[in-house]
Structure 1
Amino acid sequence: MQDDFLELTRTTRKSRHYCNDIIWGNLQTPDYARAVLRRVVDFHETPDDIEAGVAARTARAQFMGQENRTYHAVLGEQALRTNLGGVEVMRGQLVRLLDAFELPGLKLGVIPSRAELALFPGHCFSIFDGLSVEVETYSAELIITDKDEVALYEKAFRLLEGSALYGEEARALIEAELSAIS
């Protein structure tokens, strides 16, 4: 599954990602990705291919800034707080997010937990070139290509991004969480 997603990332030029309660995959550190995938493997009781999954997931970041690709990621403030892997893993992940503000082609926003939302938070999703949407559920990875449904996800993203903070304000939220766990 991670290899398929890596290929989708390689062929996409414009992507938008919303994650309310977990860090978006392209911005995950290896330790954070390992903690996420450990929980997936344990939940589904599948063979342990975590290291291969970590390698494929973290390889997605190589495309940032290449060939005019653009990425717009919106995280809920809860994503900064959802502890996957313990304090040290989370500390490293938050530092990675702070460094991500410098990545070419990336626009990173954080929706404060107290922000008024124009739409309920909902589930995580990614939009690829306006042609498809990927949604991960407990039971499956959904790929949505119906034009009308993709349009609904684009509308949802616009509404959610309107509640996000960017630049120094987003950085301040991440720094506050980093201070809280240090």
Structure 2
Amino acid sequence: MNTQRHEQRRWDRYLEAGTGRVQDESLDLVRKTKNSRHYCPNIVWGNLQTEDYARAVLRRVVDFHETHDDVEAGVARRTARAQFLGQGGRTYRALLGEQALRTNLGGTEAMRGQLRHLLQALELTGLKLGIIPARAELALYPGHSFSIFDSRLVVVETFSAGLDVTSGEEVAAYEKAFVWLERSAVYGAEARRLIEAELNAVG
């Protein structure tokens, strides 16, 4: 019986060697995973981030934690995850809150490029991308971002630490949460309309 509930990684310590190391571990996890689910209510999921958007995200991480500045190494590793989309029979189900399309990270040009990238991502093999409209009636409270890897690991990131959840019961709770959140999402043409509307608003 597995009695371990979760492992915590404090960012102020874990990032001492820079963002490149953290992103290398994430890249390795993506490489090893066949089926994953990701929920991000207010930021674009990492595997779908453009270089400019990822740079803006990681710059804020480095500045906030006052850690080693190797943002470009982190950007290279993070965006490398995209190579696995549609490869080797891998499947990805991603849910973004509509707010994720609006959260300004990197300025107008970065956001314009990121939104265009999301429009292209709707056509990717192996990816099912849903958007939860801001005014949708939710089946479950929004909660926090999380990722589920092969129904064996849930990764949650907070301001202070990263949390790896491995308890079967807790993983099952996150799987249930994902199913309930999916009920409020739109896909295909409806998701495209939401992204295009935000792209038009950015100008």
- Shorter-chain TM-score range: over 0.9
Partner of 2:166: 145
Tell me the alpha carbon deviations over residues 48-98 of structure 1, each in whole angstroms, 9 at most, x when there is no partner: 010111011000000011110000000000000000010110000000000
How many pairs align?
182
Give identity over the alignment, percent.
71
Structure 1 unmatched runs, 5+: none
Q: Which amino acid aligns with 1:23?
A: V
Q: 2:52 aligns with which of 31, 54, 59?
A: 31
Larger-gyration structure (1/2): 2
Q: CA deviation at 1:10?
A: 0.2
- Shift of residue 117 of structure 1? 0.4
| 1:71 partnered with 2:97 | no
Q: Secondary structure at the match of 1:142?
A: strand
Q: Secondary structure at the match of 1:59?
A: helix
When the two structures are superposed, what TM-score results if normalisation uses the length of structure 1? 0.99
Correspondence 1:162 to 2:183: yes
Q: Distance in 2 between matches of 1:145 and 1:60?
A: 22
Secondary structure, aligned partner of 2:88: helix
2:82 corresponds to which residue? 61
The answer on 1:44 being equivalent to 2:65 is yes
- Residue 88 of structure 2 aligns with an amino acid whose one-letter code is E
Question: What is the RMSD computed on CA atoms of the aligned residues?
Answer: 0.5
CA distance in structure 2 between the aligned counterparts of 1:162 and 1:46, rounded to whole angstroms: 39
How much has 1:141 moved relative to structure 2?
A: 1.1
1:10 matched to 2:31? The reply is: yes
User: Distance between the aligned counterparts of 1:45 and 1:120, measured in 2?
Assistant: 33
Deviation for aligned residue 1:20:
0.2
> Residues of 2 paired with 1:101 and 1:77: CA distance?
15
2:107 is aligned to: 86
1:136 is aligned to 157
